[in-house]
Structure 1
């Protein structure tokens, strides 16, 4: 009988082990609730992450499309301003009995349209005056000539230059004064 009692006592948790078993049993419903709440929160955060990632991809794609359209249609405004100039030139060629005066008048009107188109699209002439300081950012000196002017100044302009806004499109071709 004593063997049986010893065996029952050995099978029953002793002291701290008994307290732990009861604590785990009592705590299991709370841990399960915590676990399911954490899993729900994880699923919610994963969903939010996936939505944010998709939004980022959409923004990147739209930005690429906008850049592509900007490149494709960058000269649209300039082209619209140039169409009337072409129309004027085509009409001038259709005139059968043109006189020198009518041709000159037509060319002047066409030049005025072209100048307006340039101004509208911020295409500005670079036309230095004789005596202006040579600016290598806007002028290209093709010759250095003896002159009474100060050295490194513009003597003559051989060809106008052009700028689009603040960017040089073509430098003005000039001759510069030689050092004395």
Structure 2
């Protein structure tokens, strides 16, 4: 018994020493329970954050898929209706040609006037659609990016220059639609 009293005296704090709580079997269980509840609370919070992030991920993935689908639909519409403005510009030309065919006894002068008016409408439609004619002048240098030489003839001009244009070429904006078909001058022989 004296041993127990000595231990109690040793454990009991003095006025000068800091107070230290005795850790007994009940206190350890309480500390473990407190730690377990703190860990359980942290686990609940982590699971809530994971669920929130998973929901945000699923929403972002769905939004990305929706954007991809909308972009594909827009591209499909652009391909389908790409020539819509050109077709609208061509309708008056077709109407004019149909009206010319309905005339019962046209005179040569009225036919020529109708064709000239129709050509103006067609040229206007080409301008609106940025369809530009390639018409090299005689003596212009052959440009293989815009001209297609079908024959070479002797001529009184520099070699590889345009002698005659057999057919106009056309470009849409900066893209070649059809090269101009030309005859070029041959090299002069000595």
Length-normalised TM-score, structure 2: 0.83
Aligned residue for 2:116?
A: 108
Aligned residue for 2:137?
A: 129
Match of 1:47 among 49, 55, 62: 55
Alpha-carbon separation, structure 1, partners of 2:76 and 2:42:
51
Q: Partner of 1:46: helix, strand, or coil?
A: helix
Q: Which structure dedicates a bigger proportion of its chain to helix?
A: 1
The question of 1:117 aligning with 2:125 is answered yes
Alpha-carbon separation, structure 1, partners of 2:118 and 2:163:
30
Alpha-carbon separation, structure 2, partners of 1:90 and 1:134:
40
Give per-residue Cα distances to partners, 1:60-95, cap 9 Å, x unaligned. Answer: 000000000000000000000000000000000010
Cα distance, 1:25 vs structure 2: 2.7
The question of 1:57 aligning with 2:65 is answered yes
Instruction: Mark the runs of 5 or more structure 1 residues left unpaired by the alignment.
Output: 1-14
Cα distance, 1:179 vs structure 2: 1.3
Segments of 4+ in structure 1 off by > 4 A? 17-23
CA RMSD of aligned residues (A): 1.7
Cα distance, 1:127 vs structure 2: 0.3
Alpha-carbon separation, structure 2, partners of 1:21 and 1:76:
81
Alpha-carbon separation, structure 2, partners of 1:25 and 1:174:
96
Length-normalised TM-score, structure 1: 0.87
Q: Partner of 2:127: helix, strand, or coil?
A: helix
Aligned residue for 2:38?
A: 30
Aligned residue for 2:181?
A: 173
Alpha-carbon separation, structure 2, partners of 1:130 and 1:73:
39
Aligned residue for 1:82?
A: 90
Alpha-carbon separation, structure 2, partners of 1:148 and 1:99:
43
Cα distance, 1:24 vs structure 2: 3.0
Alpha-carbon separation, structure 2, partners of 1:133 and 1:112:
30
- For the pair shown, the structure with the greater C-alpha radius of gyration is 2
The count of aligned residue pairs is 165
Instruction: Mark the runs of 5 or more structure 2 residues left unpaired by the alignment.
Output: 1-22
Cα distance, 1:173 vs structure 2: 0.3
Alpha-carbon separation, structure 1, partners of 2:79 and 2:61:
27
The question of 1:138 aligning with 2:146 is answered yes
Give per-residue Cα distances to partners, 1:118-174, cap 9 Å, x unaligned. Answer: 000000000000011100000000001111111111111000000000001110000
